[in-house]
A and B are shown apart, each in its own frame.
Chain A
Amino acid sequence: MTTHNSNPPARAQGWGHYLLIPLALLGLALFVIPLLGLIARAPIAELGVVLRSPAVGAALRLSAVVSVAAVGLSLVLGFPIAWVLARFEFPGRRLIRAVVALPMVLPPVVAGVALLTALGRRGLLGPLLESLGIELAFTTTAAILAATFVAAPFLIIACEAALENVDRELEDAAATLGATRLRILWTVTLPAIWPSLLAGLALCWARALGEFGATITFAGNFRGRTQTMPLAVYEALQTDHEGALLLSLIMLAISLAILFALRGKLVRR
């Protein structure tokens, strides 16, 4: 009989959902074990030597320059795209939305090939760029473009979603008070989407920092010019296995530190 069940609420909740916990632990293991492997095998004693080597210093500096420049470019070009997509109805909007998101699912190597065939010396716009005296392929600028290409969608999608969720009454109120559209964007809309914008910037930056495939295809692997940290890891892996582990560990530490620092700020609204 169940009439004397001492704990009916617990019974009513059921127990099937507890099955999710072992699955969550298994999933966590999938993420954590490779990281532990990296930490366990990396020759941490040699960290100081590796950090002082000129190749690693150059790669770190270049990664900082490329990822920050890519975020800046994504903001300057990506935010307007997000704004247009969120604020205007026009034919082809869905297609443009899909095109803008495409780099997120495209293999980065394909993105690199696409960039090369468009902007490379023998690419579609190659003659035009050459006549203007601009050479992109295998330069730092190319590395920045490649990182922007793959990272900007993260910012655009975050901004577009946020812009669509802004309380339109706030913008209407500002309009009735006499504010121009640009003033409304600056004083009302941007502050309202600020947390989402920040989250989008963080994701965009993280993706740019980790960018490998498009960069090596379009920009090549030249120390000091296009060899960012992921490329340096790849190169080290072929000659100096332990060095590669250490470089990976450095990337891991930087990424984790930034995500950890931002996480609290991003989730709270």
Chain B
Amino acid sequence: MSLRADLGVDRGGFRLDLGFSAPSGEVLALVGQNGAGKSTVLAAIAGLLPLSRGEIVLDDRLLERVATGVRLPPQARGVGVLFQGLALFGHMSALDNVAYGLRARGVDKHTARARALAWLERFGVAELAERRPRQLSGGQAQRVALARALIVEPGMLLLDEPLAALDAQTVIEVREVLRETLHGFAGVSLIVTHEIGDALELADQILVLEGGRLVQQGSPHEVAAAPATAHLEAMLARHRLTRDDLLGSLKP
């Protein structure tokens, strides 16, 4: 039970080339600047973008191997995605959004809705079941999107900048939800983020991406102690400053 990924993508002058693996239950954070290839990694694992080289193996299931022409479509991968814009279906209630994956698997409407409601309850938003996505706050929408991704019991969870679009107060709240959710999740999770703070807080292992290549890989402690790039070092310094500010402001 694990993830093994060897990813090569050539895409109009941009070249992604990296390999990593993780045991089940581990939370990976992929950090790097804009344009480093973070979203490309995510799209490749989800099956939304074909590899030009390499392979992806999840829990002993071969998702993709270029050499033998194996390529499972996104529908068959069992990889859940929390999209950056959440991608909630605007014309459906929160409940039907969550039930969508079960309905797509042929579960009848009644059962699918009952199970979707149970998932909304788990995230403490059951009372919002009948609302449309545009009637939800950022934090509420995030919970609905998480429930929608998890209800089909994916073998892996990909989260694209899950905290980027939220205001400061909601970030703290959603980060807590994410920590609990990812902690309880049996498969591998991969969080894409440009905030080193989120990576330090949530991840067991941090992957640092630069120009489509992996430049560092290690525990949050290791990465924080010896950042491999100037950009990472600057991010860490800024993170420490804001954290110290925050701690300082809390002192009497």
A binds B: yes
A residues near B, CB below 8 A? 167, 169-170, 172-180, 183, 187-188, 191-192, 194
**Cβ contact within 8 Å between A173 and B87:** yes
**Cβ contact within 8 Å between B89 and A188:** yes
Stretch of B2-10, B73-81, B201-209 with 4 or more beta carbons under 8 angstroms from chain A: B73-81
- Beta-carbon contacts of B205-240 to A below 8 Å, as 1s and 0s? 000000000000000000000000000000000000
Q: Which of B121-139 contact A (CB under 8 A)?
A: none
Chain B residues near A191 (CB-CB < 8 A): 89, 91
**Cβ contact within 8 Å between B83 and A177:** no
B104 touches which of A172, A174, A192 (Cβ 8 Å) = A174
Min distance, Cβ B77 to any Cβ of chain A, angstroms: 8
A172 touches which of B48, B80, B100, B149 (Cβ 8 Å) = B48
**Cβ contact within 8 Å between A179 and B104:** yes
Report the count of interface residues on B (CB-CB < 8 A): 24
Min distance, Cβ A168 to any Cβ of chain B, angstroms: 9
B residues near A, CB below 8 A? 46-48, 73-75, 77, 79-81, 83-85, 87, 89-91, 100-101, 104-105, 148-149, 152
**Cβ contact within 8 Å between B80 and A183:** no
Min distance, Cβ A257 to any Cβ of chain B, angstroms: 29
Chain A residues near B81 (CB-CB < 8 A): 172-173, 176
**Cβ contact within 8 Å between A177 and B46:** no
**Cβ contact within 8 Å between A175 and B85:** no
**Cβ contact within 8 Å between A180 and B104:** yes
B148 touches which of A177, A179, A183, A187 (Cβ 8 Å) = A177
Given contacts A169-B83, A180-B104, contact A175 B89 (CB under 8 A): no
Min distance, Cβ A208 to any Cβ of chain B, angstroms: 29
Min distance, Cβ A23 to any Cβ of chain B, angstroms: 39
7 closest cross-chain pairs (CB), A and B: A177-B101, A173-B87, A179-B104, A175-B74, A191-B91, A169-B87, A178-B104
Q: How far is the CA of A178 from the CA of B104 in the complex (A)?
A: 6
**Cβ contact within 8 Å between B85 and A179:** no
A173 touches which of B47, B83, B91 (Cβ 8 Å) = B83
- Which of A170, A175, A177, A180 has the most CB atoms of chain B within a 10 A radius of its CB? A177
The 20 sampled A-B contact pairs (Cβ below 8 Å) are A167-B85, A169-B85, A169-B87, A173-B89, A175-B48, A175-B73, A175-B75, A176-B46, A176-B47, A176-B77, A176-B81, A177-B101, A177-B104, A178-B101, A179-B101, A180-B75, A183-B104, A187-B89, A191-B91, A192-B90
